[in-house]
Amino acid sequence: MYTTELQKHPSKPVAATEPQELIDAFEARVAADEFIEPKDWMPAAYRRTLVRQISQHAHSEIVGMLPEGNWISRAPSLRRKAVLLAKVQDEGGHGLYLYAAAETLGTAREEMIEALHTGKAKYSTIFNYPTLTWADIGAIGWLVDGAAIMNQVPLQRTSYGPYARAMVRVCKEESFHQRQGYEIMMCMANGTPEQKEMAQDALNRWWWPSLMMFGPPDDESPNTAQSMRWRIKRDTNDELRQHFVDVTVPQAEFLGLTVPDPKLKFNDKTGHYEFGEIDWSEFWNVVKGEGPVAKERMHDRVKAWDEGAWVRDAAAAHAAKQHGARQAAE
Ligand code: FAQ
């Protein structure tokens, strides 16, 4: 089964064998907001946490190409096709920067890909939901890229240098993606009654899974406390989720669409929206590999990897040839 294993103790305490003076120096640098770089000393658990998070982030970008890639040939105009094609290519690029950032921690890309394909590594739950209509492409750009930006902007200041720097470009591109999604939603919400209905239906289906993207509630998030101490995460899951709701609800109102949450209510005292209970059993089922299209996604990923073998072989042969030619010339 394409399950994603749940680790019981993902951020084990720093091993007793690690010299205390190195740990102290590392923690002082993190506390001073210095970037940790690949050749710097770091606790093994910090390295493990980063490889876990960055590789899962990379997998999410690559698997995330599938639901939208599915619509390139069906986009309603040449302009829409070109824009969507560019967006899907951007997501592929994000995956590559992220794999490269994770590789600087000493884990081979093949190892990470193998973990994805065998169900040992996770990727974002959101990509296990199907894209049923063109309005879903608008909803993904608006909500999914919107949630991704909310999470990734603070990651530009994450404590590991290569991850933080990769995020700078990713965030610029995601911001463009969010706008293209919102523009699709504006066209549909202001179109025919049938188009508006499609836009509302897409919002109904993507709203709750988008809120789940931020991860479990803080009191059920085993990694948050340590990741916040190490400044890998800059905000907690619940803080980012609340920020997303506060920013996105007025956008839905502007579209004339209704957020599918009868408990949604603006609280004048706190200045935040209150929202209904998230179905966490659905979230954990999807994390465990039981999402509506989880098996299809993994099948398509493995197929793409297998069918791309000749491209990787050709690129490696070309690089070896170039290297040989350079050596002969020296
Ligand atoms: N899906 O203790 P926490 C995108 C797992 S990019 C699946 O809170 P943590 C771009 C979590 O891994 C979207 N699993 O964990 C795009 C952990 O299991 P583990 C991806 C999830 O790491 C747009 C366990 O639950 N973005 O969309 C999820 O502190 C459009 C306990 O959770 C990133 O990856 C989930 N939603 O916080 C592409 C951002 N949530 O690993 C195409 C970077 C939690 O211990 C089209 N990552 N889990 O076995 C992060 O910020 C964090 O890793 C969190 C989770 C916030 C996702």
What global pTM score does this model have?
0.93
Nearest CA to ligand 1 atom 37: 215
Which is the closest atom of ligand 1 to the Cα of 214? 56
pLDDT per residue, tens digit, the chain (330 aa), is 233 344 444 445 545 689 999 999 999 999 999 999 999 999 999 999 999 999 999 999 999 999 999 999 999 999 999 999 999 999 999 999 999 999 999 999 999 999 999 999 999 999 999 999 999 999 999 999 999 999 999 999 999 999 999 999 999 999 999 999 999 999 999 999 999 999 999 999 999 999 999 999 999 999 999 999 999 999 999 999 999 999 999 999 999 999 999 999 999 999 999 999 999 999 999 999 999 999 999 999 999 999 999 999 999 999 999 999 999 998
Q: How far is the CA of 99 from the centre of ligand 1 (A)?
A: 15
Q: How far is the CA of 155 from the centre of ligand 1 (A)?
A: 13
Which is the closest atom of ligand 1 to the Cα of 222? 2
Which is the closest atom of ligand 1 to the Cα of 68? 46
SS (H, E, C) the chain: CCCCCCCCCCCCCCCCCCCHHHHHHHHHHHHCCCCECCCCCCCHHHHHHHHHHHHHHHHHHHHCHHHHHCCHHHCCCHHHHHHHHHHHHHHHHHHHHHHHHHHCCCCCHHHHHHHHHCCCCCCCHHHHCCCCCHHHHHHHHHHHHHHHHHHHHHHCCCCEHHHHHHHHHHHHHHHHHHHHHHHHHHHHHCCCHHHHHHHHHHHHHHHHHHHHCCCCCHHHCCCHHHHHHCCCCCCCHHHHHHHHHHHHHHHHHHHCCCCCCCCCEEECCCCEEECCCCCHHHHHHHHHHHCCCHHHHHHHHHHHHHHCHHHHHHHHHHHHHHHHHHHHHC
Residues 6 or more apart whose Cβ sits within 8 Å of residue 242: 272, 273
Q: How far is the CA of 277 from the centre of ligand 1 (A)?
A: 19
Pocket (CB within 6 angstroms of ligand 1): 6-7, 10, 52-53, 56-57, 60-61, 64, 91, 122, 124-125, 140, 144-145, 148, 151, 212-216, 221-224, 227, 233, 237, 287
